[in-house]
Amino acid sequence: MLVYIVRRLFAAVILLLIVTAATFLIFFVLPRLGGATVDDLASRYVGKSGSVEDIHAIAVKLGFTDPIWVQYGRFVGALFVGADYSTGPTTVHCPAPCLGYSFINQNPVLPDLLDRLPVTLSLAAGAAVLWLVGGVSVGVLSALRRGSVFDRAAMGVALAGVSLPIFFTGLLSLAIFSYWLGITAPGGSFTPFEENPLLWAYDLLLPWITLAFLYAAGYARLTRAGMLDTMGEDYIRTARAKGLPERTVVVKHGLRSALTPILTIFGLDLGLLLGGAILTESTYSLPGIGKYSVDAIVSNDLPKVLGVVLLGSIFIVLANLVVDLLYAVIDPRVRLG
Amino acid sequence: MRSRRKVVVGALSAVAALVLAACGGGNVASSGGSGGGGGGGAADANGVHNPSTEKGGTLRFANSGDWDSLDPADTYYAYSWDFIRLYGRSLVMFKSAPGKDGATLVPDLAESLGKSSDNAKTWTYTLRKGVKFEDGTPVTSKDVKYAVERSLDKTTFPNGPTYFNDFLDLQGYTTPYEDPSPDKLGLKAIETPDDQTIVFKLKSPFSGFDYFAQLPSTIPVPAAKDTGSKYKEHVVSTGPYMFDTNELGKSFTLKRNPNWDPATDPNRPALPDRYEVTLNVNADDVDNRLQSGDLDVSIEGTGVQPAAQGKILADPALKANTDSAVVARLWYTAINGDVAPLDNIECRKAVLYAVDKTGYQRAYGGATGGDIATNLLPPVIPGAQSFDTYATPNNQGDLDKAKQALQACGQPNGFKTSISYRAERPKEKATAESLQQSLARAGIQADLKPYPLADYLKLYAGKPDFAKSNGLGLMVYGWGADWPDGYGFLAQIVDSRVIRATGGNSNLSVKDPAVDALLDKALTTTDTAAREQIWVDIDKKVMDDAYVLPGIWAKGLLYRPTNLTNVFITDGFQMYDYVALGTTRK
């Protein structure tokens, strides 16, 4: 087991390096291949009134005039040993692991990301609990009452959940519940958990529900399909024939088997979300990693984008590792080694 | 004579880099609006809603984007220049007053407006006594000089304007950060003979230097506290408020500055106790929160989003809380004389007569989006006059006159051309489509050619050889001034000498030596009334040349929550005056 984990972690590091190299290529090399000069790249970071000389000076300052492998080497080097950046009169040190230094805000990216991580974590964790409990429960009940009014209604709502985009459900729910009825917090509200857990939950309730609505729909449909398959298996009939209570048959034998694909998807979904719930955070103006990355993309602040990609990749890799380990727990047929 | 001309041309060319205005952007230095009162709601005789002197409370602002920078050397948004007056004092400032009064300059850190000598090449200001930084240190002229010096460093502060870079006699000076003199005050173009006096020396005369002196770049910065690009994290205040918290990209708060002395400051009532500003807030959510009372001011001052606009205008109770702000911005279409047959003035006139301008207005949301423009200078600019060289019935076009012009041009059956616009802007797309339809009535067939916004000026419409070889006869565009003044509005869009072959031009079509000569004359005319008449003369000449199809003088619908006090639109920034605002919400 330990060897397996170490091997997976080592592979993860290699994967992350490949991800950073690919991202780097997309942002710094592809535009050059498309005919952009270093000054064209730099002109995005010069104000409206920049002269040709100003633009070139900025290109030099941002390191765009260096060969691309030097730039990438500098980025990777900063990850391990940190880097120094000039602020004009002084120099600031970005300690390792330095994920980069914002072109626009002129500050290291990692503290920014760590500052925003609690928002994204809070949003993703709360929503995940809701959609997992809600989606799986509805899916199980639908499978057990296949064809019933409940089944049809639940699957209809699930279809709506999958179909409606968050910027629609989000803005609509804000307009109704926050601004019209006044029972939930207005957009942009966030209280750190350690400051006031109740207010934390109150502020995030609407984003949680909106986000969970989208995911729960898919999970309900997936669970229903899995349960329908499993409940038709021979061993279920055997379990029933042995006289096991129906609850044990459904939960211990049926659901456990149906959960494996759910867990796979859950790992991926959660990992992706931790890299930023872009639409939800933008709709509710929550200062999380998703909103951070959108703002970075809008302002062309490439080091920030690179930082988010790296952090998101780490979450996805870790989430997949955890899922693989959990397989062994859920499904006795899986052995790691 | 020749050398004088070179100086003037040099000055004007330098202005090319200044970007006096906002490249047609929606959120640039001339964003909000002026004029006031369009939407309804009772204001007093001076145009002030809820006049009050009551202090206290917290004002809550939200910005749908990020601030370019809170550093006075590094900011170029009108809302930022309006807001910065809360925590910084420049030499002079736009008066905190409603309407046209708000476009007048009054002394702030200085005792009086600038005193010029040497034919408007030397400008002297005397600082008020008793002004202090937030830590109690007295402000001296050296702090102002240092602030201007650091603003010259465009690698550290790339966002700010470059007026001082272009007009001061720098003699090679680039930045105080590489200044070998011990006090970092080695710039010879600014002298500080004593702690209260500062003297600016220019390369060429500039009669409107007080406009430069109102720039945030003259807000004093203590050299010992300057952290370069990190200074925006805590700007040392000289105004009535100072930074309490500041999380870049997220939010910041201001609290009262205990070392601000109202006796030294006749311009700021300083009513609220505190300011809370949230950044990067969903634009539609900002409008919702304004209406629900969860927010006091949408800081950009560009007006509510289309979604909220429909709702507000349909509800008389909501509409009563709005102001229609007239902006120093013109949405227009350049008529390119490089592209045949538009090299013939009669064909250009045919376009001007054929266009249905009500379609132009509809593209911008109807009357709420702006008034139909008949010439260049927006009415909010002092001295501007409205005239209509190509009047048509109800602004819907005059096909008879268009056909006569086509006949005179030798194209009796019309001709083919192309209309370019910025692909990311739905309003410009709608404009191009409307132009296409109305021109077709006169037989002028136009293809639509969208180009990416970011490179519109650099690579496409603003690059003369590209525009010519691609037959861009009509180029949809827009322009706003940094401050309400004819120079600020016109210089970059009508002077043929600022057109560079390499691209990046904002003058897309006007090439007339007579217009250039009028601009030169205005730069050396110190009498304000005479200068303002020259701007009008230029406007008339450009319209006579038929190089520009004026579309809309922009307006914005501003929403004003009922708890706000002392609310008025200032012509200085063409949005609510943030220095004057107060609140009844405690």
ipTM value for the complex = 0.78
What is the nearest CA distance from B174 to chain A, expressed in angstroms?
11
Confidence band, pLDDT 50/70/90 cuts, at residue B444: very high
Amino acid at A316: I
Q: How many helices (H) and strands (E) does chain B have?
A: 16, 22
**Segment B178-233, tens digit of pLDDT:** 999 999 999 999 999 999 999 999 998 888 899 999 999 999 999 999 999 999 99
Cis peptide before A207 (omega within 30 of 0): no
Handedness of CA A80, B248, B237, B55 (dihedral sign): negative
- Hey, what's the torsion of the CAs at B111, B117, B119, B121, to 10 degrees? -70
Tokens 């031009």 belong to residue: B505
- Looking at residue B1, its pLDDT comes to 33
C-alpha A334 chain-centroid distance: 27
- pLDDT, average across residues A281-309: 87
Query: Does residue A103 or residue A81 have the better pLDDT?
Result: A81
Confidence band, pLDDT 50/70/90 cuts, at residue A47: low
State how far the Cα of A108 lies from the Cα of A85, in Å rounded to an integer.
9
Helix H or strand E segment including B477: strand B472-480
Q: Which of B17, B150, B285 sits opposite A51 (nearest CB)?
A: B17
Percent of chain B having pLDDT more than 90? 67
Confidence band, pLDDT 50/70/90 cuts, at residue B334: very high
Contact A29, A20 (CB under 8 A): no
Does B158 contact A47 at a Cβ distance shorter than 8 Å?
yes
Contact B208, B482 (CB under 8 A): no
Question: Is the model's pLDDT at A144 over the cut of 90?
Answer: no
**Segment B74-96, tens digit of pLDDT:** 998 889 999 999 999 999 999 99
Which residues in chain A touch residue B278, judged by CB atoms under 8 angstroms apart? 188, 285
- Looking at residue B151, its pLDDT comes to 95
Contact A303, A109 (CB under 8 A): yes
State how far the Cα of B346 lies from the Cα of B410, in Å rounded to an integer.
9
Q: How many helices (H) and strands (E) does chain A have?
A: 15, 2
Q: Taking Cα atoms as reference points, which of B422, B424, B404, B423 lies closest to residue B414?
A: B404
State how far the Cα of B472 lies from the Cα of B392, in Å rounded to an integer.
25
- Looking at residue B11, its pLDDT comes to 41
Which residues in chain B touch residue A92, judged by CB atoms under 8 angstroms apart? 230
Q: What is the mean pLDDT of chain A?
A: 85
Q: Tally the residues of chain B.
A: 586
Tokens standing for residue B465: 């050889």
Which residues in chain B touch residue A48, judged by CB atoms under 8 angstroms apart? 19, 22-23, 28, 76, 159
Judge whether A45 is closer than 8 Å to chain B, CB to CB.
Answer: yes
State how far the Cα of B226 lies from the Cα of B315, in Å rounded to an integer.
50
Confidence band, pLDDT 50/70/90 cuts, at residue B472: very high
Handedness of CA B362, B365, B370, B371 (dihedral sign): positive
Amino acid at B332: Y
Amino acid at A309: V
Q: Tally the residues of chain A.
A: 337
Q: What is the mean pLDDT of chain B?
A: 88
Q: Is B347 left (phi over 0), alpha (psi -120 to 50) or beta?
A: alpha
State how far the Cα of B441 lies from the Cα of B422, in Å rounded to an integer.
24
- Looking at residue B10, its pLDDT comes to 40
Contact map slice: B 117-176 vs A, CB within 8 A: 150, 153-156, 158-162, 175-176
**Segment A82-103, tens digit of pLDDT:** 888 888 888 888 888 888 888 8
Question: Is the model's pLDDT at B234 over the cut of 90?
Answer: yes
Does B162 contact A51 at a Cβ distance shorter than 8 Å?
yes
Beta carbons within 8 Å of B17's beta carbon, 6+ residues apart: A49, A50, A51, A54, B162, B165, B166
